[in-house]
Chains A and B, each alone.
Chain A
Amino acid sequence: MNAFAALLVRDIRIAMRVGGGAFMGVLFFLIVVTLVPFAVGPDLALLARIGPAILWLGALLATLLGLDRLLAADHEDGSLDLILMGRTPIELAVVAKALAHWLTTGLPLVIAAPALGLLLNLDATATAAVAVTLLAGTPALTLIGLIGAALSVTLRRGGLLLPVLMLPLTVPVLIFGVAAANAAIVGPAPFGPPFTILCALTLASLVIGPFAAAAALRHGLD
């Protein structure tokens, strides 16, 4: 467990320092959300209606686009080999890396979402609904992306491959995230069922993601 904490702290520290790119995700998120009113027109009623979907899409892209460096950077400087050879199970090590990535990319997205909700004319309920669903759903995005990061770790041109491989698998998360947010805002369906399915997706990806990523690292690196 000590190694877990050490890896977590190290990854967060690297992300916060110069060249770490911890807040690039939030910046990207802000820009995507800013672009939407230019594309669909500044109709506030329309923006309020599609706002949750825009925030979810922005968060999805911001999470996945940054993930290709998660393991590749460690592979290039050799620290990934040390992590794989260490006594900590690889499954646990990749969970630590994913958690660090979520704390530095996913959590800022959740915190920034209410502020960006103002730009999209969302009221208080809608803002809260989007923030809560993002809080429950973004870990799933990070964990699914973790598989892609492990699959593309040795590829020099893996940058665009990762979203291509992983975006289809994030479709359920997007569906239930937006469904739960919309259920809280306009109804008539209750908020509970889609939200619990969203939580279930996060838990399932917490099981599948680390094992698939560890298997990919074991088999893909030699």
Chain B
Amino acid sequence: MPLIDFANPSRFLAVVERILPWLAAAGAVAFAVGINQALIAPDDYQQGATVRIMFIHVPAAWLAMFTWALMSVAALGTLVWRHPLADVAAKAAAPIGAVFAFICLATGSLWGRPMWGAYWVWDARLTSVLVLFLLYLGVIALWRTVDDPTRAARVAAILTLVGSINLPIIKFSVDWWNTLHQPASVFRVGGPSIHLSLLMPLMIMTVAFVLLFVTLHLAAMRNEILRRRVRTLRLMQADAALERA
């Protein structure tokens, strides 16, 4: 189904209502399997049991970056194609992305305390993810400051596109600088360097996180559409009251 079919918010809402329970159920199943697999995975020979933090940390980091990338595409949708749901998608994604970035930072620092001896080090990867988190908060602040939704959408879209410069910096920070954070070990030339017994739970958890994101995102988009309808109704009501007076 082409993207333009979702341009009609009512049709979009109908589709969301139909698939949301299935997505939520699939996400729950994926989490059940993934957490189970993560708990029975063998300890790492160096990190011991703390390796299990990775099963939360890595998918959250991927999703935090993916969410900004999705917001950037939505920003293009707002500015270039004027897709009516693009700004709804962008607005609904921002808080979810912020939470993923926060989970990534929080679990990372919990892992860092026993492994590196410090909750936080000022290394390029950590700093760039912190900047991503701050950018999320900035976009949310911008959405909350501009009262007209269409104009808020456009200015937030520009900020999103400017902020997307940060994504390659995060991805390649471990290659460009000599960081304490370990280099890429899953998506790399020559295949993953993680053992299969640890890679499998990671992949299942990633699927679970993606399902969680899609579920939350579609629900948030539905809520945003309904919120805008309520706003329009209120404005119409105020207008009518004004005319009566």
Contacts and interface: CB of A to CB of B under 8 A. Distances in A.
Given A155-B146, A212-B162, A215-B79, A171 B154 contact: no
A212 B161 contact: yes
A147 interface: yes
Interface stretch (A21-29, A70-78, A115-123, A156-164): A156-164
A169 interface: yes
A169 B142 CA distance: 15
Contacts of A212: 158, 161-162
B154 A220 contact: yes
B106 to A, nearest CB: 19
Contacts of B127: 171
B162 A157 contact: no
Contacts of A171: 127, 131
A168 interface: yes
A219 B145 contact: no
B54 interface: no
Contacts of A164: 137-138, 141
A180 interface: no
A161 B159 CA distance: 12
A169 B141 contact: no
B134 to A, nearest CB: 4
B84 interface: no
Given A168-B131, A215-B158, A151 B151 contact: no
A168 B135 contact: yes
B130 to A, nearest CB: 9
B141 A165 contact: yes
Interface residues of B, number: 22
A200 interface: no
B151 A168 contact: no
- Most chain-B Cβ atoms within 10 A of its Cβ — which of A152, A164, A168, A222? A168
A14 interface: no
Given A151-B159, A219-B155, A219-B158, A165 B142 contact: yes
Interface string B164-181: 010001000000000000
B141 A161 contact: yes
B155 A216 contact: yes
Nearest to A175: B127
Interface string B113-145: 000000000000001000100110110011001
A169 B158 contact: no
Interface string B216-239: 000000000000000000000000
A183 B40 CA distance: 49
A147 B162 CA distance: 9
A216 B138 contact: no
Query: Interface residue tally of chain A, by bracket?
Result: 20 to 34
A72 B119 CA distance: 42
A151 B141 contact: no
B160 to A, nearest CB: 11
A216 B158 contact: yes
B141 A208 contact: no
A149 to B, nearest CB: 12
Contact of A168 (B134, B142, B145, B158): B134
Nearest to B156: A151
Contacts of A158: 145
Nearest to B163: A169
A222 B145 CA distance: 17
Contacts of A147: 158-159, 162
B151 A220 contact: yes
A183 B79 CA distance: 43
B30 to A, nearest CB: 33
Interface of B: 79, 127, 131, 134-135, 137-138, 141-142, 145-146, 151, 154-155, 157-159, 161-163, 165, 169
Given A165-B138, A168-B135, A208-B165, 14 more contacts: A147-B158, A147-B162, A155-B146, A161-B142, A161-B145, A165-B141, A167-B134, A168-B138, A171-B127, A212-B162, A216-B154, A219-B158, A220-B151, A220-B154
24 contacts: A147-B158, A147-B162, A151-B155, A151-B159, A152-B145, A154-B146, A154-B151, A155-B145, A158-B145, A161-B141, A164-B141, A168-B134, A168-B163, A208-B165, A215-B79, A216-B154, A219-B79, A219-B151, A219-B154, A219-B157, A219-B158, A220-B154, A220-B158, A222-B151
